[in-house]
Every structure is written in C-alpha cells, then in structure tokens.
Homo-oligomer: A and B are copies of this chain.
Amino acid sequence: MDRKTRLRQSGLSCTRWRYNILKILKDSHLPLTSKDIYKMLPTPKPNLATVYRNLNRLVEKKLVRCVTLGERARYYELIQPDTHKHRIICKTCGQIEAFEPVGCDLKSFEKLIKEKFNFKVEEHSLEFFGTCPKCQSFHSQR
C-alpha cells in the first residue's frame, strides 16, 4: 500500500512533511531520533516543531512506535506487522544493531506475567548493551 493511502486509512491527511517523515522511517532499518529525521528531510527544512507534531500524530495513529534506547532522546520506528525487533546497542559509540528474534521465547514470560500479576502485556522491548566489534578492537589497541 502506498504511503498516501496508508495515511488516509489512518485518518490523517497527506501533508508534505508527514509524507516525507513516513518515507524516511520506512526506508530506515534502524530507529531514528527527531533530529536524525530532521537532517534527512529535504531542503527547505520544516520547523523542528513540525517534525515533533507529526511524529506524535503518527505514534497516536499507531503507524510509528516510539522507543527509548538508554539515551536521553526518543527514537522512532515504523510499525510493520511481524517485524518486531530486538536491539543491540554499543555503549561506547552508540551504534545500534537490530536483530530478528530467533525462536523468541518471550511468550512464556508474558504468560507468567498474566498469571502472577494479572497484567495484560501489549508489547515488550529487549535490548542488549555492550561493545561492538569496532570499539572492542579500538580498546585493545591502547
């Protein structure tokens, strides 16, 4: 489905910036901050407030998900069916890798939570923090 139709289906008008922000998120395999997105938008740039307003609108309509990755700023990513990802984040350089859950067995956790706390789980996030190959070798050099 094209982006314009997708926006319409969610009850959002298809404005220049909304369209472009959605496109950028679609083309990115990693979550992006508002600043990242701002930089990637074509010149003439919109106002940063416009980027924020659009991101909030997209999150509200569940086209986009907002995540925090141990950082001060929020990251945004397109919600796509069946592509929930886990992340690996380098504590040294901040690089983010995504990886598909292989036989992700978090379902058993969710069941446990339901039974024990009567808590209805809607989503989860799993992040691994550590050192990426590049930073490991940089470290060992000195």
- Integer count of this chain's copies in the complex: 2
Residues of B within 8 A of A102 (CB): 112
**A27 located at the interface, meaning its Cβ lies under 8 Å from any Cβ of chain B in the complex:** no
User: Given A99-B113, A122-B129, 17 other A-B contacts at CB below 8 A?
Assistant: A66-B70, A68-B69, A68-B70, A68-B71, A86-B109, A97-B119, A106-B126, A113-B128, A118-B133, A119-B130, A119-B131, A121-B129, A123-B129, A123-B130, A124-B126, A124-B128, A126-B126
A residues apposed to B, CB below 8 Å? 66-72, 74, 86, 88, 90-91, 97, 99, 102, 105-106, 109-110, 112-113, 116-133, 136
Contact B88 A119 (CB under 8 A): yes
Chain B residue nearest in CB terms to A71: B68
